[in-house]
Structure 1
Amino acid sequence: MSFEITGKLVARYNIVQRTETFKTREFVIEKSEDIGGRVITNYIKFQCVQDKTAIPDRFNIGDEVKVMFNIKGTKWTKDGKENYITNLDAWRMEHVKLGEQPVAGDNSYEFTSDNTPTDNVDDLPF
């Protein structure tokens, strides 16, 4: 299942090589909402893995972005105690211009396995 959220990019961290074949990168967006006249600000940390770790490079701190992500969870047992971790795995980001709906294609980026951006143009004739 896929989710999306729009907010301001406020942090972008370095790539971490977890094992010889696995790397991750984290970034944070700020999302403010007016709830009953009170502004609540949340900071949401996302993780990119493998070939998606280059996604945040196309954006500047302070940019309004739309993040598409999946929720993933892991369970493990240590010393007889069950532990859980939840990750928000980002797989796509787009620029968002204030006052406009996100426009896929012009400012969105997806990446191939060699970290080269692909355009999102649908070349189907129908």
Structure 2
Amino acid sequence: MEIRGKVHEIGEVQQVTDTFKKRDLIVAYAENPQFVEYIRFESTQDRVNIFDNLTIGEDIEISFNLRGRPWTNKDGITSYFNSLVAWRVTKLGNTTANSASSPQQADIPPVDISSNNADDDDLPF
């Protein structure tokens, strides 16, 4: 699975046990810009370094696996947990930097070519 969003927060590597480490990444996902979702992804073990070259506010596409597992407490009640485990992050081109170097259509003033006045016609043919 993949989604696109902006890097909101980059967590530190957490050494959970002697043999297990993980790291979190929070992505601002704005499918509807009015209601931004903040989604937590995690990377584990040898993949914790895939968040190293990211900066906050950067546009990314993140590839991940959806995992779910049950957990039963001491009273015998079972709860279910989901996790989004990232395995690849791709930086996307920053559209605001590209638009500054090339004019957008809205930046170019309109030209009125509908004039029917013959006095304005200075073409030689």
What pairs with 1:71-110 in structure 2 (closer than 5 Å)? Answer: 71-78=66-73, 79-99=75-95
Where structure 1 has 5 or more consecutive residues not aligned to the other structure, the ranges are 100-126
Which has the larger strand fraction?
Answer: 1
RMSD of aligned alpha carbons: 1.2
Post-superposition Cα deviations, 1:67-106, rounded to whole Å, max 9, x if no partner, equal 000001110211110011110000000011145xxxxxxx
What pairs with 1:1-126 in structure 2 (closer than 5 Å)? Answer: 3-34=1-32, 39-78=34-73, 79-99=75-95
> C-alpha separation between the residues in 1 aligned to 2:66 and 2:31?
22
Task: Name the TM-score, length of structure 2 as normaliser.
Answer: 0.71
Task: Name the TM-score, length of structure 1 as normaliser.
Answer: 0.71
3-state DSSP class of the match of 1:55?
A: helix
Q: CA deviation at 1:44?
A: 0.7
Is the radius of gyration larger for structure 1 or structure 2? 2
Which has the larger helix fraction?
Answer: 2
Identity score, percent = 34
> C-alpha separation between the residues in 2 aligned to 1:43 and 1:24?
19
Q: Hey, which bits of structure 1, 4+ residues long, moved more than 3 A?
A: none
> C-alpha separation between the residues in 2 aligned to 1:76 and 1:7?
31
